[in-house]
Structure 1
Amino acid sequence: MIIERFWRTLKYENVYLLNYSTISKAREKIAEYIYFYNYKRPHASLNYKTPISVYMAGLEGVA
């Protein structure tokens, strides 16, 4: 269920808004968006934290 939500978000916040001129440009811009999604974009379901911050917090004390 989570991954389906990600694909919807990717399409509506990136793919449908941009007109990629080449496949390589599409790959580049989608990779940039995935970085943004995981490292910069706050998520309501994570109490407005980023996925990476939640992931890293989960690793504390594991090592």
Structure 2
Amino acid sequence: MARHGVHQTLINTWKRQAMENMAEVFDGKAEAAAVDREAEIARLHAKIGELVVERDF
């Protein structure tokens, strides 16, 4: 750990997060969440564009 400059606390945090989210990785929920997130981002970008046009008008 000292060799790579990573503190033990950070490694423990990564390990805990991995263990908590491991099931989601293999059951497809992570993929569904990513698709939902991408759709939400696209919707928000469209709304931003709409508001910019409205403001400039």
TM-score under structure 2 normalisation?
Answer: 0.34
Query: Relative contact order: is structure 1 or structure 2 higher (C-alpha 8 Å, sep ≥ 6)?
Result: 1
TM-score under structure 1 normalisation?
Answer: 0.31
If you compute each CA radius of gyration, which structure gives the higher value, 1 or 2? 2
